[in-house]
Structure 1
Amino acid sequence: MRTLSYAPLLSLVALCTFEPQVHAYQLYNEDDGGTVLNADLSAAFGWFGSEKNYIGDPEREPGRMRWQEGFAKYGLNGTTNKINAGSVYGGLSWISTGSFGDGDAGGLTVGDERRTAVEDAYLGWKSGDLIPALGKDGVDFSFGRQLVTVDGFLITDDGFAPGKAFNPIEGVRDGRFNRGGAFYLGPRLAFGNTAVLKLGGLEGLHGSLIWLKSDNPGQSKTEVAAATLDYTTPVGSIGSTYVHGLDVDERYAFGDRLERKGMNVYSIRGQGNAGIENADFAFEVARQEKRSGSQRAMFFEAGYTFADTQWQPTVSYRYSRYSEGYDFLFQGGFRKRYQGEVAANYAGSVTSNMAINDVLLSVKPTDKLTLNAMAFNYHQLSRTHEQDFAAREVDLFLDWMVTDNVTLSPLVGFYKPEKWLGDGGLQSGSASTNTYFQFIVWMTF
């Protein structure tokens, strides 16, 4: 059975698109921020093409695919401190998504998926100055349907969005796992039900207790509990995460998903500049304990920005490694750094049985234009499996903020697998280089 991973490209602009408080139209403001009500609207539409596909169907030759995806998210969020202590905040939003054309190159969508549903529906309370020992807003409790990111390597969001073509249990297109299209854009990030308690703010010693229940069939509707403990200073932070699997819905369980119930995951992580101005370091080492045995994953990342040089070039290197039976949980790539457009989204698994080396080069000709180039090498650790996903990939892309509300993100990628569908790989036609392209318009209001 093919193991799927997901890590759609979410540029800085896209990340802002999904943060309710970042882009909003203020409807009401009482007493200079005492009570605020905002209207949110964000949208995106993308055109995609791949000269080869990764559907695993010999009849779909030579494999050329053309498709489109779009979404619109709209709603309200607000906050008020007109209570006896602290402040109350909340949000309510809907999202409409769709896929068009041939469906994606990985065969998860067929191109006629559509869906409108509630995305965010949450309430929260912050303590303000009520507990001085914990600092400003040292207690932050929220619950409901919302986006929760634990650390980014283990739990980023619930954004995996398969369509009608996805059914790893029976292989029948019955729509059981369909989330309404827009697989690549992946805007359905909120978990179906959550309770989150954050203690200690963002500096010094702080932590959190989290309960998450996914309503995503593609994640087998997994339920987990998690805890984090961090110590943050001006030069960086060090921390740990614990995740315990509580339950899965057996009707949607496939592969090793049933092992998520009772699974324990432990990790140690860190990030910061280590006192070196313009530097950036990060790492995480995770260990999974489940019925079939222990699994491990890790990454290390180092980067530097030449801030005093024209166009402020940034160079970054990352090494990632995932053991053969590692379960990627709700991972989207640490700090949203995707792991290859074709490899991570369409061409197979990059979050199990894989070692990945990647390099990023980024320059900023202007404050509104960023040019990026990334190169990846995927080395499959064990070659005893039926399918081999070893490959190389190069992606060239840019983010151009045309206005304060509109950003254009074109990309071209080149993916070269070692194997193809005819000799143990997944790519259609041959093992020659596939050319992939996309053009996305991001809009925030």
Structure 2
Amino acid sequence: MSNSFVRHARSHATSVCRGSRGFVKASCSLVALGLAAFAAPEEVRAEQTLVSIKGITLQGALDIGGSAFFLPNTNFGAGSYGTKSSGALVRHKNSTYGEFYGKPMLMGSWQTGWGFTVIGKASAIGATTLGDGDAEEVSQTSGTPRSIYLEEANLGVEVPLKMAGGHQILTVQGGRQAFAVDDGFLIGKGTYSAGDRGAWWYAPRYAFSGPGVIKLEGDSVRGDVFMLESNSDNDIDRGYDRPKTKFVGFDVSWFKNKPGGHGGSTYADRAAYVTLTYFHVRDADGSSHYDYSTRADRNGMNVAALSWGGTLFPVKALGISKNFTFYGNFVSEQNSHAGNGYKSVEAYGMFFEPGYTFSMLPWKPHLFYRYTRFGGGKNAEGSVKRNYDTFFLYDGKRYTYGGYWPGEIVGMYLAPLSDLEVRQFDLTGTPPVHLFRKKDELKLGVHFYDLSLLYPSGMGLKNVGRHVSNEVDFTAEYMLDETTSAAVAAGTAFSGPAGRALSRAGVPTGYRMHNIGRHAGVLEAYFYKHF
């Protein structure tokens, strides 16, 4: 399954099903039903054609997904606070919650016969969060939110071209649409799934609002010119949303295709690539709600990035021309305009990720190390903002587990994605076993994260060491076919001085401080199905 279907899509079935709470049992029953469906006849169902006549095609599809979580000793004992109907907060020491979503889609095309094709897409997402709500210290999705909102609604044209001896497709597309540069480290998500939207962890929403995007996809070069805006709404998201941001920019990529691949339109088909990205924020919410925050002073900002990945350095002498990969991204954020308490912005973010696949060994284990640095400053309320803003970060298309969120416990619920340094080791392997079909796949993984603040004082912490936590997660991902997948995961985290200080700092004012310990855990599961 392409990871573009699932931002977090992950799960835990077996261990959670041993729980005693009725909600967990109900969630597991649904997961079990999904797993039982894997034994169905081997047939991969894609989009269903509803109309096909005289060059006009209309197709329908449906995505569904669900997840379940149990987090013992949540946030190292600080717990997670949910809002009751009265407005008071209630503490959950061991958070338990689940999520479900459905996304019906309608896609259409018209081959005009005049050298171009008209295309369009419309979709909506219905979602809910059950149980205690997500496990942040103040939960963003407590109270069982349910919602149905428009996701995509766009119209465009595709024009085939032949330039410089190659083949290209020019696409002009306007309206609400999903849009990502590479695997989404900088631009990938236009809608946040907090508050009354629900499904915070699964995060099935991606769409930006228009005007739109112009794409040119060639044999070895591709590019986009875009003018978009995020779908932010603090009324729906209970004040937890990112600043509403309108931006304009471009990206251009050079790439090499994998055998039989089409890297111009499909990121996963690129054997190697280098991308230059730039955008200018032409308008952003600068209300006092964002003063001195990591999202502050976006209006007028200039953002530039250089990213790369794949087998960029085929070292044939060492016999690793196909097995060695190197991914990375360097982002610069600059703003000379004052806003939200700052006079200017100078911030940077980056990651570097060498990896190697031992293709000659059983299970073909893949090992990578990733160093990620989300910039920060010593004084969060100085005149220059140095805390990195992740903007439209998406967890990545290359991995379901092991993406840019640093772990399933601390990086997911506690640590800020700014003023943060992450050292990550990932080892995955695919055993030669097939559970239900000859071509299904099981991938096992171990994921280690070492998190530290760059400057504890930049997070308002005084006389505290930098280390936030160490965490190790164990995962089992199962893919029945390109349309059906599920996973189970379990992990434990060990707090450092900065991690315990962040836990204390996150307790709501006026509520009793509980004992902050050295351990926290997670058991989780997810399923995904595309019809």
- Short-chain TM bin: 0.7 to 0.9
**How much has 1:389 moved relative to structure 2?**
7.0
Aligned residues: 409
Shift of 1:147: 0.5
Letter in structure 1 aligned against 2:372:
S
3-state SS of 1:431 partner: coil
TM-score (norm 2): 0.71
**Residue 425 of structure 1 aligns to a residue in which SS?**
helix
Separation in structure 2 between the aligned mates of residue 247 and residue 431 of structure 1, nearest angstrom: 43
Task: Give the 3 Å change call, closer, same or farther, for CA 91–196 of structure 1 in structure 2.
Answer: same
**Mapping of 1:409-424 within 5 angstroms?**
409-419=487-497, 423-424=501-502
State the identity as a percent.
24
TM superposition shift of 1:403: 6.1
RMSD: 2.7
Distance 1:139-1:269 versus aligned 2 partners, 3 A rule: same
Q: Which residue of 2 aligns with 1:239?
A: 275
Q: Are positions 1:24 and 2:52 aligned together?
A: no
TM-score (norm 1): 0.84
Structure 1 counterpart of 2:413: 346
Counterpart code for 2:201: Y
Matched, 1:391 2:469: yes
Structure 1: 5+ residue stretches without partners: 1-6, 12-21, 164-177
Q: 1:8 touches 1:341 (CA, 8 Å); kept in 2?
A: no
Q: In 2, are the aligned partners of 1:283 and 1:299 still within 8 Å (CA)?
A: yes
CA distance in 2, matches of 1:294, 1:112: 40
Displacement of 1:424 in angstroms is 4.7
Q: 1:381 aligns with which of 454, 458, 463?
A: 454
Q: State the 1:29 CA deviation.
A: 4.0
- Check the 8 A contact 1:363/1:371 in 2, yes or no: yes
Instruction: Note closer, same or farther for the CA distance 1:405–1:297 as it changes in structure 2 (3 Å cut).
Output: closer
CA contact (8 A) 1:70 1:98 kept: yes
Check whether the contact 2:415–2:499 (CA below 8 A) recurs between aligned residues.
no
Task: After superposing the two structures, state which structure 1 stretch, 131-140 or 369-378, moved more.
Answer: 131-140
Partner SS for 1:109: coil
Match status 1:406 vs 2:484: yes
Indicate conservation of the 8 Å contact 1:78/1:91, yes or no.
Answer: yes
Deviation at 1:383, TM superposition (A): 2.2
For residue 8 of structure 2, what is the aligned residue in structure 1? 9
Give the structure 1 partner of residue 322 of structure 2. Answer: 277
User: Could you tell me which residue of structure 1 aligns to residue 133 of structure 2?
Assistant: 103
The SS at the match of 1:219 is coil
Query: Aligned equivalents of 1:311 and 1:117: distance in 2?
Result: 42
Larger Rg: 2
Change (3 A) 1:389 1:102: farther
Matches within 5 A, 1:166-177: none
Unaligned runs of 5+ in 2: 1-5, 11-44, 83-88, 234-240, 258-270, 315-320, 337-343, 377-386, 434-439, 507-513
Question: Who is 1:313 aligned against?
Answer: 365
Give the secondary structure class of the aligned counterpart of 1:236: strand
Please state whether the residue corresponding to 1:358 is helix, strand or coil.
strand
Deviation at 1:137, TM superposition (A): 3.8
Deviation at 1:258, TM superposition (A): 4.6
- Aligned letter for 1:25? Q
Partner amino acid, structure 2, of 1:213: E
| 1:421 Cα deviation after fit | 8.2
Shift of 1:399: 1.6
1:204 positional shift: 3.0
2:490 and 2:523 in contact (8 A); partners too = yes
Deviations 1:60-86 (A, max 9, x none): 667211111110000211323234112
Where does residue 68 of structure 1 map in the other structure? Answer: 98
Query: Which amino acid counterpart does residue 140 of structure 1 have in structure 2?
Result: T
Superposed, 1:46-445 pairs within 5 Å as 46-54=67-75, 63-106=93-136, 107-129=139-161, 131-133=162-164, 135-151=166-182, 152-163=184-195, 178=196, 180-199=197-216, 201-217=217-233, 218-234=241-257, 236-250=272-286, 253-254=289-290, 255=293, 257-274=295-312, 275=314, 276-291=321-336, 292-324=344-376, 325-335=387-397, 337-338=403-404, 339-349=406-416, 351-365=417-431, 366=433, 367-384=440-457, 385-387=459-461, 390-402=468-480, 405-419=483-497, 423-426=501-504, 429-445=515-531
Alignment partners' CA distance in 2, 1:380 and 1:160: 25
Q: Contact 1:126–1:137 (CA<8 Å) still a contact in 2?
A: no
Distance 1:340 1:398 in 2: 15
Sort the Cα spacing of 1:286 and 1:30 in 2 relative to 1 into closer, same or farther, 3 A.
same
| Distance (whole Å) between structure 2 residues aligned to residue 228 and residue 138 of structure 1 | 16
